């Protein structure tokens, strides 16, 4: 039995599907009862309702499982505390394999959420768990909340420089890599950087979108404050973390774009940004990116 945290979110749902495809049994951990149907539809044979900050919830979820896929709630101030507690309790429960979804360049200290992920990585290094750490480039799925606007207005905006080079990864590829790490030997005690090949700035992205959609898409600048307001983000920590992230992108981009590791794990070429947009253009998303 493999425990998937956040099994009702975009990432956890994809990992659940990938695990079921590998023949694994999945227990989905979800916070709200109304989200349980999503995890069940993805293939989870068991559902546990709980709160990551509640030890009784974690004990119940970890009881009888041998492997764990863990991803933190996004942009929360106690991310490192929660992660360390999950690792401690997983070790106590006799979990054999622990896969942690982290971020590319978790050692960049100016990025608050990366600093917390690095602390969780360190907790795994100090544990007795057989761990696999997946360090992700920026998720291609992050465009989903903006996609309807792209289609209706032919405008694509981001709160950082249009010249910033950004590395990407398709989460379906990440889910497949996570499932392999949880069900096959040979992936333990390792940290893997996951990215598709190459980097794109916003000018190149809108050129690609224009070609696929058959009409010109224009790149538009938006301030960080305006972006935060439109996204309805008012939490002090999340505002600061996202502001630092966007300012870092503005200054340096998010370098990466080496697909060697992901290509080796998958045994094929990782999905490109073009392939992702082509797929997106064929079917409009029904839910926003949640992880």
Domain ranges of the chain: 2-138+169-196+256-270
Structure confidence at residue 74 (pLDDT): 93
Q: Looking at the DSSP assignment, which residues form a beta bridge with residue 88? A: none
Structure confidence at residue 283 (pLDDT): 78
In whole angstroms, give the CA distance from residue 249 to residue 227: 15
Q: Is residue 198 within 8 Å of residue 168, measured between CB atoms?
A: no
Residues 22-44, mean pLDDT to the nearest whole number? 96
Residues 239-254, mean pLDDT to the nearest whole number? 98
For the full predicted model, state whether its pTM sits above 0.75: yes
What Cα–Cα distance (Å) separates residue 135 from each residue in 44, 103, 193?
25, 4, 5
Say whether pLDDT at 288 is over 60.
no
Q: Looking at the DSSP assignment, which residues form a beta bridge with residue 136? A: 103, 194
Mean pLDDT of the chain: 95
Residues 13-28, mean pLDDT to the nearest whole number? 98
Structure confidence at residue 224 (pLDDT): 98
Say whether pLDDT at 290 is over 50.
no
The predicted-structure confidence for 110-147, as pLDDT tens digits, reads as follows 999 999 999 999 999 999 999 999 999 999 999 999 99
Residues 243-270, mean pLDDT to the nearest whole number? 98
Structure confidence at residue 291 (pLDDT): 35
Residues 61-81, mean pLDDT to the nearest whole number? 97
In whole angstroms, give the CA distance from residue 218 to residue 149: 12
Q: Are strands 166-169 and 199-200 parallel, antiparallel or unpaired?
A: antiparallel
In whole angstroms, give the CA distance from residue 199 to residue 146: 20
Structure confidence at residue 156 (pLDDT): 98
Say whether pLDDT at 285 is over 80.
no
Structure confidence at residue 284 (pLDDT): 53
In whole angstroms, give the CA distance from residue 1 to residue 250: 43
Q: Which residue has the tokens 């010249």?
A: 163
Q: DSSP letters of 115-151?
A: HHHHHHHHHHHHSSSEEEEEEE-EEGGGGHHHHHHHH
Domain 2-138+169-196+256-270: give its CATH code.
3.40.50.720
Say whether pLDDT at 267 is over 80.
yes
The predicted-structure confidence for 48-70, as pLDDT tens digits, reads as follows 999 999 999 999 999 999 999 99
* Percentage with pLDDT > 70 across the chain: 97
User: What's phi and psi for 36, nearest 5 deg?
Assistant: -60, -35
């Amino acid at each position: 039995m493999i425990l998937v945290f956040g099994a009702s979110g975009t990432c956890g749902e994809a990992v659940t599907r990938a695990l079921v495809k590998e023949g694994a049994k999945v227990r989905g951990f979800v916070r709200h009862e109304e989200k349980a149907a999503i995890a069940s539809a993805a293939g989870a044979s068991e559902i546990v309702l709980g709160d990551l900050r509640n030890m009784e919830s974690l004990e119940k979820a970890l009881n009888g499982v041998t492997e764990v896929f863990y991803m933190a709630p996004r942009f929360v101030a106690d991310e490192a505390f929660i992660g360390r507690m999950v690792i401690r309790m997983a070790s106590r429960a006799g979990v054999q394999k622990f896969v942690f979804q982290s971020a590319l360049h978790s050692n960049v200290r100016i990025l608050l959420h990366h600093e917390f992920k690095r602390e969780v990585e360190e907790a795994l290094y100090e544990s007795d768990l057989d761990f696999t750490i997946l360090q992700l480039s920026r998720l291609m799925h992050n465009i989903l909340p903006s996609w309807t606007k792209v289609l209706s207005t032919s405008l694509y905006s981001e709160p950082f420089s249009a010249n910033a080079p950004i590395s990407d990864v398709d989460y379906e590829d990440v889910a497949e890599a996570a499932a392999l790490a949880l069900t096959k030997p040979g992936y333990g005690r390792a940290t893997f950087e996951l990215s598709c090949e190459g980097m794109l700035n916003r000018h190149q992205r809108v050129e690609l979108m224009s070609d696929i959609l058959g009409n010109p898409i224009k790149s538009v600048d938006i301030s960080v404050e305006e972006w935060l307001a439109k996204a309805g983000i008012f939490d002090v920590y999340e505002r600061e973390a996202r502001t630092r992230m966007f300012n870092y992108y503005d200054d340096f981009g998010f370098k990466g774009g080496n697909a060697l590791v992901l290509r080796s794990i998958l045994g094929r070429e990782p999905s490109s940004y073009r392939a992702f947009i082509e797929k997106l253009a064929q079917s409009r998303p029904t839910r926003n990116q949640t992880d």
